[in-house]
Amino acid sequence: MRKRWVARPAPAIEMQESPDDFGLPPSVALLLARRGYTGASLLWFLNPGLEHLSRPDSIPGMRAAVNRIASAVRNGQRIMVHGDYDADGLTATATAFRALCHLGAGTDFFIPDRFEDGYGLGDSSVDACARAGADLIVTVDCGVSDAEHVRILRRNGVDVVITDHHQPGEEMPPAVAIVDPALEPGSPAGVLAGVGVAWMTMRGVYEELDAGTEYLDGLLQLVALGTVADVVDLTGDNRILVSRGLGLLRESPFPGLEALARSASVETGGLTSGDLAYYLGPRLNACGRMGRADDAMALLLSEDLREARVLAATVEGHNRNRRKLDREVEGQVMGRAAELESPRCILMAGEGWHRGVIGIVASRIADRFGVPSLMISLEDGRGYGSARSVPGIPIHSILMDIQARSGIMESIGGHPMAAGFRLPAERVGELEQELRSEMEDGRWDPHLGSVLYVDGRLEPGDYCAATVRALDMLEPFGEGNRRPVWLARGAYPLNWRTVGKDGSHLSCSFRIGSGTYRAIGFGMADSQSLFGGRVDLAFTLSLDTWRNDGSIQLVLKGIRKHAGGRG
């Protein structure tokens, strides 16, 4: 599907000359200024140190949570960390569990089974707490919408501290404390992932107990992985946490993370945020999707590299199975979706679709068609759904509004860009009708359609390795800090050929201005039909690692015919 090329949205700022651009190429300095970084803020952005991190008590509910957890540690009470089965929840559980064990606390953990238990606190959580003899449950990446089971635990004499980052449900749980940046929009820690909230909570506990921070800081490699995998904005506190965590992963990774990287054929010494997003995170997620999250937890907690390699091989097996299943579901829905005429949202349901992979397929549908996507697995009269959205359309809020009007769903949770829900199978059509009615509202029109965001143009002298090195200073890249996509208008195609096992990729070269540059377009073989004349290119800039001669290459993101005018 052809994407619209538009300028990437930028904050409303007054463009001023920076007294110090820190030696950046002009194109890169202008890019950062457009993103809101000049002067002191640019210095902070390029040097994201822990000293700039928000205080833990900037998060609502933190003081009460720290007091209760610290009291449990001091008094030898049993603590159970209750997590979630996705990469964010698993790394959050490992972070809190490791941190509490290091303090000498008697600590257990519990990860619910996606299929047997479902998301969040449930009956199985209450049973696990009783078996462990826990006095306190600390939830990570879940709990803020689980009022009923918090009440049950409290009646059983168990205190609950909730750490979460999801939107609250209709009723706030009667917990001892609820630590959740979502309760105070606009707070400095407002974009933290679940693992970030868990780490900040442990930081507050360590400070309260005067336990030092060296061990806790070492856990930031887990925080980096969970944060990137959860696709939250890599700005503010998240930029600091991920930047420091990546450094630790490159220098001295935990055995489990080193083994996980090796199983994905990734060298930890040069690890990037992209490696976390596309290789490590999906492998952790695969365990929970297949209902075997305990294997991932064992890997994250392993202290022996030999053992970790065996566990990583098991995780890799889950990932292969996950890929097979999501290809099966994707193969069924992509063709059907392509036949829809100008959809404003896409909802599909199917019997036998594996619940663990429908979220992946929903993400791909949303990305390809540029509209909210909802995939629903039908099992035994119930529909288990995953929703994914596009920037500017808060799918969780939309579903909550529908629920308030109609009561269609039995449960719902999530955040603006993603949601999970359950409903009776016979009401799927009703939900689809409600969504279509909602999306007909013209206020969503500016956000619909598949879009390629472009950041600007390079100066002629910026097509060089020095610019690539300067762009590396913008790492970690991800949501909220995307790798810059540059525009070159009126490029002349010089030569091209298809490459790859299936011939789906495009290797080519172009003359741009007075320079000639090599380019690679993954999955873009069909675009060679455009090379009858000048073209416009959208691309990221990288070193040519294939030739490894210090030259640059353009990694193509889009090609279109040149409309004429100034090149």
Q: How far is CA 114 from CA 121, 291, 375, in A?
A: 12, 6, 16
For strands 505-512 and 451-454, give the pairing. unpaired
Where do the domains of the chain lie?
Answer: 57-211, 340-449, 452-561
Spell out the residues 6+ positions from residue 562 whose beta carbon is closer than 8 angstroms to its own: 489, 490, 491, 533, 534, 535, 536
CATH number for 452-561: choose from 1.10.287.610, 2.40.50.460, 3.40.50.300, 3.30.470.20.
Answer: 2.40.50.460
Helix and strand numbers, DSSP H then E, in the chain? 19, 17
CB 283 within 8 A of CB 316: yes
User: Residue 476: is the preceding peptide bond cis (ω within 30°)?
Assistant: yes
Tell me the CA distances in angstroms from 295 to 127, 165, 298, 306, 320, one per residue in order.
21, 25, 5, 15, 15
pLDDT for 21 equals 60
Residue by residue, pLDDT tens for the chain (567 residues) are 578 899 988 766 555 554 456 778 888 988 998 888 888 888 899 999 999 999 999 998 999 999 999 999 999 999 999 999 999 999 999 999 999 999 999 999 999 998 888 888 999 999 999 999 999 999 999 999 999 999 999 999 999 999 999 988 888 999 999 999 998 877 767 789 999 999 999 999 999 999 999 999 999 999 999 999 998 999 999 999 999 999 999 999 999 999 999 999 999 999 999 999 999 999 999 999 888 899 999 999 999 999 999 999 999 999 999 999 999 999 999 989 989 988 999 999 999 899 989 999 999 999 989 999 999 999 999 999 999 999 889 999 999 999 999 999 998 888 888 899 999 999 999 999 999 999 988 889 888 988 899 999 999 999 999 999 999 999 999 988 999 999 999 999 999 999 998 899 999 999 999 999 999 999 999 999 999 899 999 999 999 877 667 789 999 999 999 987 544
Burial class (CB in 10 A: 0-12, 13-18, 19+), 514: exposed
CATH of domain 57-211: 3.90.1640.30
CATH fold of the domain at 340-449: Diaminopimelate Epimerase; Chain A, domain 1 (3.10.310)
459 vs 314: CA distance, rounded Å: 49
